[in-house]
Structure 1
Amino acid sequence: MENSPLFDGIQEEWEAKGEAKGREHEKMEVAIKMLQLNLEIETIIKTTGLERVQIEKLIKQQGN
């Protein structure tokens, strides 16, 4: 089964999803550090590519 084209396609899809999730997590970590440095939200958006809603959610989480 591991040598079938179907398995290869599924494996590639899982790997791509995992990599995307890892990149998103890394962006969030960078945004948290930028918030801790009191950088402006617009700067964080431009630097990380995250959306304002995501950053505002991080701000709320950091407040707890």
Structure 2
Amino acid sequence: MLLPDETYEQGAVVAGHLLAMLRVYDDFLARYRIRPEFFCRYREKEALQKRLSRVVEAASRSSRRHSSSQGEQ
């Protein structure tokens, strides 16, 4: 859900930034051969990553529809 002063594009930028940070986290674990399930919050991170991916995809679709509808006018 967006805050009153947010747009879908701003939400997508924030979600994209968070996804990038989570990828760094995954890379760190892989680099040092740390089993992800070792951490108690691993599943929470996975759920957040899935949710953020959906937000970015939805915002991207919305942005493309918005762009194509303006191009028709």
Q: What is the TM-score with the length of structure 1 in the denominator?
A: 0.51
- 1:33 aligns to 2:68 (yes or no): yes
Structure having the higher Rg: 1
Q: Residue 36 of structure 1: CA displacement?
A: 1.0
Q: Unaligned regions of 5+ residues in structure 2, if any?
A: 1-35
Q: Residue 35 of structure 1: CA displacement?
A: 0.5
Q: Which residue is equivalent to 1:9?
A: 44
Show the 5 A alignment for 1:15-54: 15-38=50-73
Cα distance in structure 1, aligned partners of 2:38 and 2:61: 33
For residues 11-46 of structure 1, what are the alpha-carbon distances to aligned partners after superposition, in whole Å with 9 as ceiling and x for unaligned? Answer: 0001101110110000000001100111xxxxxxxx
Count of aligned residue pairs for this structure pair? 38
Q: Unaligned regions of 5+ residues in structure 1, if any?
A: 39-64
**Aligned residues with identical type, % of pairs:** 3
Cα distance in structure 1, aligned partners of 2:47 and 2:60: 20
Q: What is the TM-score with the length of structure 2 in the denominator?
A: 0.45
